[in-house]
Amino acid sequence: MIHAFIKKGSFQDSVSLMLISRKLSESPNVEEISVMMGTPANKSLLEATGFWHPQFSEATPNDICVAIKTAVADGTITEQISEALDAALKALAQGQQGGKRLLKARSWRMARQKLPDANMVLISIAGEYAAELAEQALDDGCNVMMFSDNVSVEQEVALKTKARSKGLIVMGPDCGTANIAGAPLAFANLAPKGMIGVIGASGTGIQELISQITLARQGVSHAIGLGGRDLTAAVGGISAISALRMLAADPQSQVLAFVSKPPAETVRKQVIAEMKTLGKPVVALFLGAQNPVRQEGNITFASTLDEAARLAAMLAHIQQMAAQQPAVCGGKICGLYAGGTLAAECAMLLAAELGLEADRQHQQGSMLNTEGHRIIDLGDDFYTQGKPHPMIDPSTRNQEIARLAQQPQVGVLLLDVVIGYGAQEDPASSLADEVKRLREKRGAAQPLAVIATVTGTEQDPQQRSKQIATLSAAGIAVMNSLPEATLLASQLIAPPLVGVTASAPAMLDGVSVINAGLRSFADDLQTNDISVVHYQWAPVAGGNQRLANILKNLK
């Protein structure tokens, strides 16, 4: 049996009503309850799910429709549920976060007055009304995040096109997550502040990237959601390209990570073409797309979220270390290795990075000797005849390092430090002293970047962390792996990437948010000290479109 009643003129967001429905369904003698606003879409849903009652035909989009499935025949159950609903709505209205009462407004005009510097509108109202509010926000100079779904493709394209013409962005519809300048928007994660800018047409994809980047001990500058349809052929990646340009202009975002559900091929190509103009390293993950190459200019293609996060974290670490090294653009790379396999891998990686051929003969320990770049295995028989291995005695390598004083063309020196039983007691100190002497001989006119990797563990007699600390104190960049070391070396000697020059949008310096729809989103923003006003939106003229149009024309 269905009992029903209508609560007139009490508009609430859908999620709050769902939570209230669940709580009221636990009431005695109740099988199930549905609590919904009386919008046309919700009325159709009530009928389709078996909760329809003739009373609901009188409900407007500003009225709450309550349907109760119960075996109780009398009307007392309706009175009980009505009282419980009133109590739940009162508790909702009185909610506070952190002892601060949420700033609220019942009209757009009042919301703007209460937060005049608002530059972001977060919309989570019913989809049939979301586009109109989004257009109002754009007309008022605000960026838009549309959590709302059920917005037509035609409306999405029109809104995003308008936003682009105004230098703004529309994230969504059906955009589940974003984090702009530390402001968690919708289903967002807080991450340490860093230099990786994340863009995604996948809500959970963005969240997983941020999670894995954080685990890799790197931070995020901003995370911009696009909505699941943005990279479809119908929409054409309008917001994707806007987001890429925004982060390209943002000095905090030194590395970009991009994730998308399977995109339209034509749009994927268009987005890749845009990425190539940015002047920043980009990690791109197009799920389901077959990437014929691993690297394409400044773009590294990933196959999984985990891989994309690791690559972005590695590139961010390289950017951090590059900022600490002298400018050696155009210089040559010299690698002096104690470990033969390490020298071979370094030569292989460096040859791939620079488009060179590694040495196949390995005469006199030469692993690479092309176009002025050299990688030498100092553990080769040529160097160890009648002498201790360089892992035991540093004198051979120190002599080779000293010779670089007469080789001004060398701009980067690559080294390995191998610790453990049988190795030198303190190889890092020996290297640090030799590098210091070399730099003094070369002087400021012949800058030299020095990059090292450490092979060994914290439990070794030399203690890995102490070796790293000694090298770092001497101005030597210590990288986590040979791929990182060779990437850094290649970047240091390469001409700087040149991208499109533009001013970063103001919202990247900080957002002030008008929240329309789910109150919990506003509560979360306030908890994180983000300026926010909760716009208690309700359909104009009770949802009567004809009357709403008349009122709009009268303004």
Which pTM value belongs to this model?
0.86
Supply the Cα-derived Rg of the chain in whole angstroms: 31
Q: Are 136 and 108 in contact (CB under 8 A)?
A: yes
CA distance 19 to 2: 20
HSE value, Cβ hemisphere, 13 Å, CA-based, for 543: 20
Instruction: Map tokens 């196959």 to a residue.
Output: 303
pLDDT in tens, 230-283: 999 999 999 999 999 999 999 999 999 999 989 999 999 999 999 999 999 999
> What is the token pair recorded at 259?
């994730």
CA distance 287 to 394: 49
- CA dihedral 427→428→434→435, nearest 10 degrees, is 150
The stretches in the chain having pLDDT less than 70 are 95-99, 292, 500-501, 541-555
**DSSP state letter for 31:** S
Residues 11, 12, 15, CA angle at the centre, nearest 5°? 155
CA distance 521 to 511: 14
Distances (CA, A) of 10 to 13, 20, 107, 460, 546: 10, 14, 15, 69, 21
- 214-219's contacts with Cβ under 8 Å and 24+ in sequence apart are 215/309, 216/309, 216/310, 216/313, 216/314, 217/313, 218/192, 218/194, 218/312, 218/313, 218/316, 218/317, 219/191, 219/192, 219/193, 219/194, 219/195
Q: Are 114 and 532 in contact (CB under 8 A)?
A: no
Q: Are the folds of 2-94 and 330-493 the same? A: no
CA distance 123 to 250: 25
Which residues, listed in sequence order, are joined to residue 479 by a DSSP beta bridge?
Answer: 453
Distances (CA, A) of 163 to 138, 251, 365: 6, 22, 60
Per CATH, which fold does 330-493 belong to? Rossmann fold (3.40.50)
Strand duo 64-69 + 2-7: pairing: antiparallel
Within 8 A by CB and 6+ apart from 270, the residues are 236, 237, 241
Q: Which CATH architecture best describes the domain 2-94?
A: 2-Layer Sandwich (3.30)
Q: Are 512 and 532 in contact (CB under 8 A)?
A: yes
Q: Which CATH architecture best describes the domain 175-321?
A: 3-Layer(aba) Sandwich (3.40)
Q: Are 534 and 102 in contact (CB under 8 A)?
A: yes
The amino acid occupying position 139 is D
CA distance 299 to 257: 10
Confidence at residue 97, expressed as pLDDT on a 0 to 100 scale = 46
Confidence at residue 76, expressed as pLDDT on a 0 to 100 scale = 87
SS3 260: strand
> What is the token pair recorded at 520?
């919990």
> How do the domains of the chain map onto residue ranges?
2-94, 175-321, 330-493
SS (H, E, C) 193-233: EEEEEEEEECHHHHHHHHHHHHHCCCCEEEEEECCCCCCCC
CA distance 78 to 534: 31
Which residues, listed in sequence order, are joined to residue 120 by a DSSP beta bridge?
Answer: 143, 513
